[in-house]
């Protein structure tokens, strides 16, 4: 079947073989749901304070949807292994949707249990591809493995918390492992392989296929990733113990050094491509949040949105744009002006700034949370209008 633009539509089998086609829309739906909890709360429709519901939906639902979709599509190709089956992808997406629904309706234990089941199912699907691999993944994927260890530990801690009293250290550690480790580590792990292409550069993590051994240089970069990831995880333990400035100072320094070593944006050519510009803005936001909390730890909940929204979320949507366009035969469209992407990113950043400002002026907190949510959702909807229809376009035969 062909679409209105003349491209071939995907089949049901192709939908399963490239999980991003289902997980990206599910992740967008989760993001909108998680942010909408704030206007609903201040309008009196959602009675309970949505702090934890919102955080779980954004980390496990929105970011999780994009992480599962990207890795489920890219990992089998990187390993030269067979893709996910249709029923594996469908089952995982249904678990994702059920998890988001549980969190949205305040059923936290159900949501946490479903998320742990989703992690287990995805890990089993990934392990089967690792066993049949004919190539090594990029060395930065050591950080992806650490991210899944972090979020699995975080999910177990949340389930334990529902049945017994945990002290503040473990509660804080659970949130750091789930909300930061699950997203930051994959960004740093996948970034060196994918992001240089945004600037027409060769990826330093793109090694020749080596089915029988480890290519030269792979081990060194994998060790760099392991040390960096271990330092970031160590900073979570420092923060959970109450040493906020030391924790964020270490996280900022480790992230900055890793970016300089493995993603040298300072050597990238200046390009007018909206994706390249947006990526630069996002990494500035990511680092700015860590630095701001290091200097003003008393405002860490607010200032961390520089990292979570201005960094993590913008990187997520920009990378997803490249994935969708690249896998649907629309890669050439990225060379166009694409002002819609810059407008979408601007709306997301404006929403972030509005939300942060609310915490500094309590009298306008409620209205700024609402305005910020509406602006951010508007940016996501604009992005979705231009990008998500292309998940139905089949990748041309090569």
DSSP code string of 18-43: STHHHHHHHHHHHHHHHHHHHHHHHT
Nearest CA to 206 out of 136, 131, 146 is that of 136
Counting as low any pLDDT under 50, the low residues of the chain are 1-4
Does the residue 108 lie in any domain?
yes
38 and 21 belong to one structural domain: yes
Does the residue 209 lie in any domain?
no
**Predicted pLDDT of residue 210:** 65
167 and 126 belong to one structural domain: no
183 and 198 belong to one structural domain: yes
Does the residue 212 lie in any domain?
no
17 and 119 belong to one structural domain: yes
**Predicted pLDDT of residue 4:** 44
- 10 Å Cβ neighbour count for 5? 10
Does the residue 210 lie in any domain?
no
230 and 360 belong to one structural domain: no
Instruction: Decide which of 106, 137, 168 is a domain's last residue.
Output: 137
289 and 372 belong to one structural domain: yes
Instruction: Decide which of 137, 155, 188 is a domain's last residue.
Output: 137
Does the residue 66 lie in any domain?
yes
Our count of domains for the chain comes to 3
Helix (H) or strand (E) holding 100: helix 86-104
- Domain of 155 in residue numbering reads as 140-204+219-269
Dump pLDDT digits (tens) for 307-351: 999 999 999 999 999 999 988 888 888 888 899 999 999 999 999
**Predicted pLDDT of residue 324:** 94
Does the residue 213 lie in any domain?
no
Does the residue 63 lie in any domain?
yes
259 and 313 belong to one structural domain: no
Does the residue 13 lie in any domain?
yes
Neighbour-count burial for 290-322, b at 16+ CB within 10 Å, e otherwise: bbbbbeebeebebbbbbbbbbbbbbbbbbbbbb
149 and 96 belong to one structural domain: no
Q: Which two tokens stand for residue 50?
A: 């949505």
265 and 295 belong to one structural domain: no
133 and 1 belong to one structural domain: yes
**Predicted pLDDT of residue 359:** 86
Q: Alpha carbon of 386 to those of 171, 321, 398: distances in Å?
A: 39, 9, 25
Dump pLDDT digits (tens) for 152-192: 999 999 999 877 888 999 999 999 999 999 999 999 999 88
Instruction: Decide which of 234, 251, 269 is a domain's last residue.
Output: 269
236 and 318 belong to one structural domain: no
- Residue 8: helix, strand or coil by DSSP? strand
Dihedral over alpha carbons 157, 57, 37, 304 (to 10 degrees): 80
27 and 71 belong to one structural domain: yes
């Amino acid at each position: 079947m062909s679409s209105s633009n003349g491209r071939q539509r995907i089949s049901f089998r192709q939908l399963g073989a490239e999980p991003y086609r289902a997980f990206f829309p599910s992740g967008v739906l989760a993001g909108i749901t998680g942010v909408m909890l704030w206007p609903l709360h201040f309008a009196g429709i959602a009675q309970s304070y949505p702090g934890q519901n919102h955080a779980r939906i954004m980390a496990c639902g929105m970011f999780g949807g994009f992480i599962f979709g990207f890795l489920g599509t890219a990992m089998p190709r990187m390993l030269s292994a067979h893709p996910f089956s249709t029923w594996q992808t469908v089952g995982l997406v249904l678990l994702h949707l059920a998890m988001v629904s549980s969190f949205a309706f305040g059923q936290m234990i159900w949501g946490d249990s479903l998320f742990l089941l989703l992690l287990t199912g995805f890990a089993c699907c990934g392990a089967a591809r690792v066993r049949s691999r004919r190539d090594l993944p990029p060395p930065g994927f050591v950080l992806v493995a650490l991210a899944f260890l972090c979020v699995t530990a975080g999910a177990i801690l949340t389930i334990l918390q529902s049945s017994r009293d945990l002290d503040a250290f473990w509660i804080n550690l659970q949130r750091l492992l789930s909300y930061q480790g699950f997203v930051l580590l994959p960004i740093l792990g996948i970034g060196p392989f994918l992001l240089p292409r945004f600037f027409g550069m060769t990826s330093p993590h793109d090694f020749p296929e080596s089915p029988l051994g480890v290519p030269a240089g792979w081990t060194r970069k994998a060790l760099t990733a392991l040390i960096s990831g271990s330092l970031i995880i160590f900073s979570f333990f420092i923060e959970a113990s109450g040493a906020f400035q030391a924790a964020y100072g270490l996280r900022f320094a480790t992230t900055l050094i890793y970016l300089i070593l493995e993603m040298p944006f300072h050597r990238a050519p200046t390009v007018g491509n909206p994706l390249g510009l947006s990526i630069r803005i996002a990494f500035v936001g990511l680092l700015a949040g860590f630095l701001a909390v290091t200097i003003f730890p008393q405002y860490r909940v607010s200032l961390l949105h520089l990292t979570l929204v201005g960094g993590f979320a913008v990187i997520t949507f920009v990378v997803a744009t490249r994935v969708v366009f690249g896998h649907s035969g629309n890669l050439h469209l990225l060379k166009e002006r694409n002002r819609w992407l810059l407008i979408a990113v601007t709306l997301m950043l404006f929403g972030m700034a509005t939300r942060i400002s609310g915490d500094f002026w309590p009298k306008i907190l409620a209205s700024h949370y609402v305005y910020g949510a509406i602006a951010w959702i508007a940016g996501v909807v604009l992005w979705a209008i231009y990008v998500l229809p292309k998940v139905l376009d089949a990748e041309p035969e090569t």
